[in-house]
Amino acid sequence: MALDGEKVRQLRLAKGISQERLALLCNVNKRTVQRAETGASVALETAAFIAEALSVPALSLRALQQIQTNPEQRAAGEVILVPVNSGRRIVDAIRLSFETKLTFEVEPTRDNVNLLGKIAELLEPMVPNIWADPHDEYNPTYAEVIQKQADVNEILPTLAAIGINVFLGAYTASRQHPRYDMDEGHKYVTDRTPFEPAEIVLVVISDTTASHLVRRPADMVDDIPF
């Protein structure tokens, strides 16, 4: 996938991060970031990680030439989900999101039901609940996070061996962020609660043979303030 190299560079500079730092955030080497900033093609997964690190939709980073020669990929509000083989990325994306939409697009069978149940048990507890009281929120220690990442890493190759992948994508939506009322003991929003940008993560467990998935959420915000 060819990126708009100058846009990648400008977004990186606007965030005040170096090529080395961006490479670290994306789990790639510095040369890959340099190639992306020259407009050279990078893997779909790498493009998605760069977009995630720069807090923009992956679609917005595509090179103009690629968009013009692939009109079917120009749909407004498009979110690309790519297969991810890193437990760290999956776990961190879910637990640091404002909202995660976890979907299983696999027909359960006797051969895969145990694995599907295991990955569900690993991921579901981390899905944020914005209405949870502070004492009920999922706040794992770093040691627990590392263990969760290792557990996910352990099951990913087994899933892949039977043709099942975990696809990951993210977009920005406008949401009212609940406030906690200490007197009443619960969270709330009112008509005057402002709408703010929120990171929405899409996780799809699928047995599709496609290289990536495309979703077009109705609540996607294309213009992200910096």
Distance CA 153, CA 123 (A): 12
Distance CA 115, CA 199 (A): 28
For the stretch 141-189, pLDDT in tens is: 999 999 999 999 999 999 999 999 999 998 889 999 998 888 888 899 9
In this prediction, residue 134 carries a pLDDT of 79
For the stretch 108-131, pLDDT in tens is: 999 999 999 999 999 999 999 988
Residue with tokens 């970031």: 33
In this prediction, residue 53 carries a pLDDT of 87
Distance CA 118, CA 114 (A): 6
**What number is the average pLDDT over the span 15-28?**
89
The rounded percent of the chain whose pLDDT value lies above 90 is 41
CA-nearest of 100, 60, 106 to 79 is: 60
Residue 44 pLDDT greater than 60, yes or no: yes
Across the chain, mean pLDDT equals: 85
Q: In terms of residues, how long is the chain?
A: 226
In this prediction, residue 75 carries a pLDDT of 57
Helix %, strand %, coil % of the chain (to 5) = 40, 20, 35
In this prediction, residue 74 carries a pLDDT of 37
**What number is the average pLDDT over the span 129-136?**
84
**What number is the average pLDDT over the span 2-27?**
88
